[in-house]
Amino acid sequence: MDAAHAVDIASLALQLKEELATADAAAARSAVGCPIVVAEVSKLTRNVNPEAYNPHHVSIGPYHRINNPELARDEDKIRSLGTVLSAASAGVTLEAYLDVVARMEAQARSCYVHTFNLESNAFVRMLLLDACYVLVHFGGVGAGGFCLHGNGGDMMEAVGVVRDVIYLAENQIPFFVVDEIHKLTTRDGGVVSAAEAIAGYVRELLRGQQYSVATPAVAGPPEPGNLLHLLHMHLTPTAALSSSRTTGDRVIGKQRRFGRWRSATEYYCAGVGFRSRPLVGKGARSILDVKLDGRGGMLEIPRLKIDAETSRLLRNLMALEQSNPAEAGTHVTAYCVFLSQLAGTVRDVELLSRRGIIAHGLGSHDEVAACLADLCKGVAFGGDDPGGNYLRATWQGLEESFRSRPRRWAAWLMLRYFRNPWLAVGLAAAAVGLVCTVVQAVYAVLAYSPNA
């Protein structure tokens, strides 16, 4: 056989075995009921901003424990295990915890898209220590929880732990592991479930950042798949899909196909106004609740506070949706596509900042614009699906407003003349003079008599 066409049987067999293992893992996920999977972020997405997806303080789960063993922080996790054991009821031993986790090993492995060369002892040990670490820091077990209102080094450590443990799509363990450890610890009097306890922390975190004031049910189905999914459950849009003149029930053939959002400046120059929508009362429940009024002339957007972690959180929420589109939906992705195209230039950020829609503590508007413009690079999104794009009807309404010639002319006159008081006065004086001239001419004609 020609050497150029020789087949490397061993290499090809290894490749196919790996693909078979991946397929078997997918089948196992369906069999054991693991709807939210933990997957590596695709290279196309990661390459835009690799640091947005990597932990810097502590690793949770197998992905970064293997790739960055220095982030395992097993000493801290052993102390968390000690705290959990101290909080457990009398008679609950370490062996009991290990037995519970060992029985969940196969199901837990099936929740990861990739397989890992971790023997059972190492995998079970990792799950137990990571679950204890999560419960001590965020689940109210013991007195080791982090508060984000501290000072100095404690504050920085708290921010690092929250970022790594809650925000990162890859840095997760299945929530049912955390839940079972919590049940075993609190079985003689625990009333609040692990989901409810950690959701309380997440809710306080999101309200402090003014991202959400929602209180979704987290203790019943659908249950959270992991901590990032638990946070994601607080960012479900509540605004009606028919928030504009165009209803979301029409078929695409009777509408324009979804395209790019226009910039805030373009909409503004076409007569669309912008107003900040508060997260209170019967109004918006999260930053996703964008609303266009019935006439298409005012777009209400909840205020977005942008800090050093905003882009990281939004990117990882999109990564969660990219791996779990059927289970998690794509509404955060739809919002990020809207935001990145609406506010992708400095002029747009300046306009939205003046309207109270964007607030930030970054170095400049340029930095914010660059951050938002790159937000969705490498992300797949189908905008014409009303079920996947909750803002599709809003886009349709804005597009109608933008293409309306009377509205555009009225907006041009307003921007050209009425923003300058002297030009406005001059235009008004000219209009009054014209009216007076016309009236005078009419009276002159009426007063003329051929018999005079």
Q: What is the DSSP string of 108-127?
A: HHHTBSS-----HHHHHHHH
Kindly give, in sequence order, each residue whose CB lies less than 8 Å from that of residue 356, ignoring residues fewer than 6 positions away. Answer: 276, 303
Q: Are residues 203 and 274 in the same domain?
A: no
Q: Are residues 386 and 414 in the same domain?
A: no
Dump pLDDT digits (tens) for 393-409: 999 999 988 776 454 44
Is pLDDT above 50 for 29? no
* Mean pLDDT value of segment 82-98: 94
Expressed as residue numbers, the domain containing 396 is: 252-404
Helix H or strand E segment including 14: helix 9-32
Q: Are residues 256 and 391 in the same domain?
A: yes
Q: Are residues 73 and 114 in the same domain?
A: yes
- Percent of the residues in the chain that have a pLDDT greater than 70, as a whole number: 79
Is pLDDT above 60 for 341? yes
Distance from C-alpha of 173 to C-alpha of 244, rounded to nearest angstrom: 41
Distance from C-alpha of 39 to C-alpha of 19, rounded to nearest angstrom: 15
Q: Are residues 153 and 122 in the same domain?
A: yes
Out of 36-40, 101-105, 130-134, 183-187, which region has the weakest mean confidence (pLDDT)? 183-187
Q: Residue 62: what residue type? A: P
Q: Are residues 272 and 365 in the same domain?
A: yes
Domain count, the chain: 3
Contact present, 165 and 226 (Cβ < 8 Å): no
Q: Are residues 142 and 175 in the same domain?
A: yes
Q: What is the pLDDT of residue 411?
A: 42
In a domain, residue 292? The reply is yes
Q: Are residues 386 and 429 in the same domain?
A: no
Q: Are residues 143 and 161 in the same domain?
A: yes
